Structure 1
Amino acid sequence: MTTTVRPAGPGRDGVYSICANGRSVGGVHLTPLGPWGPGIGWILHIQVLPSRRRRGHACVAMLAAEEIMRGLRCTRMAAAVPEGNRAATGLVRALGYTSDSSRLAAPVRTTGMPPGVRMMDADERDAWCVGELHRYAADLRAAGWADAAAESRARARLPDRTAPAPYTLGEGAVVWVVDGVILALTAPTPADAATLLRAAGHVTAAQGLHEMAIELLDDTHAKVCTAAGFAPRTRYWGKPIL
């Protein structure tokens, strides 16, 4: 049995059919322009017919995806796996992917803006963004990311100047929430982190949203997020393909 990956057809950029002996048994959707900036190829979706699973089709398709993305000058792959999906988690692990980060979500709880929290002014924001970009990129490099990919992801994470400014408690305690997504949370103590999460909830509720999300690179704020009602939704996996 021969498994191949072929373009799905005109008007379906990035969509490929997974074929076994010439017959379609599934599909995979790829993009070199995902949420972490250029140079990082994403497997957006992969599916194999239930009757054709556990025959290696998905494994071949993912290896082919790496070749396709490498041809588009990507140096790293990324895949999002719903929390608790054991089959997909086993597949990415078998292919050498490692956990990059996790996305958690929580219903919005608000009791008003906590005392002492304020929005940054323009000068503070600009200075903080520069420092945050370098800090985040350094964290990625420490986790094994190549310089270019780390820089790309760090830059893609920071929104443009039209987005609302971060909120701060001072002394390095900052939360940045945009459209219900906490883009950054830095706090010297768990108590500061909890206060900033309440502030993020207030801002999110004021926008009429009922849920907010946060992406965690490590376990630094995992306990305080759990205490605030956040639960894992998605785990992101990555692999260099130099």
Structure 2
Amino acid sequence: MTTTLRPAGPGRDGVYSICANGRSVGGVHLTPLGPWGAGTGWILHIQVLPSRRRRGHACVAMLAAEEIMRGRRCTRMAAAVPEGNRAATGLVQALGYAPDSRRLAAPVRATGLPPGVRMMDPDERDAWCAAELHRCAADLRAAGWAAPVAQARAQARLDHPTAPAPYTLGEGAVVWVAHGVILALTAPTPADAATLLRAAGHVTATQGLHEVAIELPDDTHAKVCTGAGFAPRTRYWGKPIL
């Protein structure tokens, strides 16, 4: 039995059919663009028909996806796995992917900005973004990311020129939220982090959205996020494909 990937058709860029002996048994959606910046290929979604599972189709499809992304000059792969999906987790682990970060989300409501929280002015925003870019890239390099890929991921995280300015409590306590996603959260104390999370929730609610999400690359703010009602939704996995 031969498993291959075939383009799904015109107007469906990045969507491929998983074929076994020429017959479609599932599909996969790939993109060289994503929240980690240039150079990282994403497996956004993969599915195999229930009657064709446990036959290795998904494994072969993911290996083929890596070759496709390598051909598009990607040096790293990433996969988004729904929290609690054991089958998908086992697959990415078997293929050498390592856990990278986790996306959490919480419902929001407009309660007003907490006392002391204010929006940054333009000069503050520019200075903070420059410092945060350096800090984020340094943290990623320390975690084992190659310098160019770490820089690209940090840049993608902070490259939102049309997003509203970050909010601050002063003394390094900053939250930046846009379109229902917390782009950055820096806080010297758990109390500051909790206050800024409330601010992010209020801002998100005033935009007509029902929940706010955050990606946590480590456990620095995990406890305070859980206490604020955030629940895990997605685990991100990654590996180099040099």
TM-score bracket for this pair, using the shorter chain length: over 0.9
The answer as to whether partners of 1:110 and 1:198 remain within 8 angstroms in 2 is no
Would the alpha carbon gap of residues 205 and 9 (structure 1) be closer, same or farther in structure 2, given more than 3 Å must change? closer
Specify the alignment match of 1:173 in structure 2: 173
Structure 2 residue identity aligned to 1:49: L
The answer as to whether partners of 1:103 and 1:235 remain within 8 angstroms in 2 is yes
Specify the alignment match of 1:219 in structure 2: 219
Specify the alignment match of 1:31 in structure 2: 31
In the superposition, the TM-score normalised over structure 2's length comes to 0.96
Specify the alignment match of 1:182 in structure 2: 182
Moved more, 65-74 or 144-153: 144-153
Specify the alignment match of 2:15 in structure 1: 15
Specify the alignment match of 2:86 in structure 1: 86
The answer as to whether partners of 1:175 and 1:197 remain within 8 angstroms in 2 is yes
Structure 1 residue 110: Cα displacement? 4.5
Would the alpha carbon gap of residues 135 and 51 (structure 1) be closer, same or farther in structure 2, given more than 3 Å must change? same
Once the two structures are superposed, what CA deviation does each residue of 1:75-121 show, in whole Å capped at 9, x if it has no partner?
00011111111100110011011111111110114432111111111
Mapping 1:58-69, distance limit 5 Å = 58-69=58-69
Moved more, 26-35 or 4-13: 4-13
Specify the alignment match of 2:147 in structure 1: 147
Structure 2 residue identity aligned to 1:218: D
Deviating beyond 6 angstroms after TM superposition, the runs of 4 or more aligned structure 1 residues are: none
The answer as to whether partners of 1:3 and 1:57 remain within 8 angstroms in 2 is yes
Specify the alignment match of 2:205 in structure 1: 205
Count of equivalent residues: 242
SS of residue paired to 2:44: strand
- Structure 2 unaligned blocks of 5 or more: none
Separation (CA, whole Å) in 2 of partners of 1:110 and 1:54: 47
Separation (CA, whole Å) in 1 of partners of 2:120 and 2:29: 40
The answer as to whether partners of 2:32 and 2:40 remain within 8 angstroms in 1 is yes
Once the two structures are superposed, what CA deviation does each residue of 1:178-233 show, in whole Å capped at 9, x if it has no partner?
12211111111101101111111221222222211111001110010001000001
Separation (CA, whole Å) in 2 of partners of 1:12 and 1:229: 37
Structure 1 residue identity aligned to 2:17: S
The answer as to whether partners of 2:106 and 2:231 remain within 8 angstroms in 1 is yes
Structure 1 residue identity aligned to 2:170: G
Separation (CA, whole Å) in 2 of partners of 1:171 and 1:223: 21
Specify the alignment match of 1:55 in structure 2: 55
Separation (CA, whole Å) in 2 of partners of 1:208 and 1:65: 37
In the superposition, the TM-score normalised over structure 1's length comes to 0.96
Specify the alignment match of 1:236 in structure 2: 236
Specify the alignment match of 1:105 in structure 2: 105
Specify the alignment match of 1:95 in structure 2: 95
Structure 1 residue 152: Cα displacement? 1.2
- Structure 1 unaligned blocks of 5 or more: none
Moved more, 65-74 or 108-117: 108-117
SS of residue paired to 2:130: helix
SS of residue paired to 2:80: strand
Separation (CA, whole Å) in 2 of partners of 1:49 and 1:152: 36
SS of residue paired to 1:176: strand
Separation (CA, whole Å) in 2 of partners of 1:190 and 1:45: 35
1:42 aligns with 2:42: yes
SS of residue paired to 1:70: helix
Structure 1 residue identity aligned to 2:14: G
Specify the alignment match of 2:114 in structure 1: 114
SS of residue paired to 1:99: strand
Mapping 1:115-134, distance limit 5 Å = 115-134=115-134
Identity %: 88
Separation (CA, whole Å) in 1 of partners of 2:75 and 2:14: 17
Separation (CA, whole Å) in 2 of partners of 1:112 and 1:5: 51
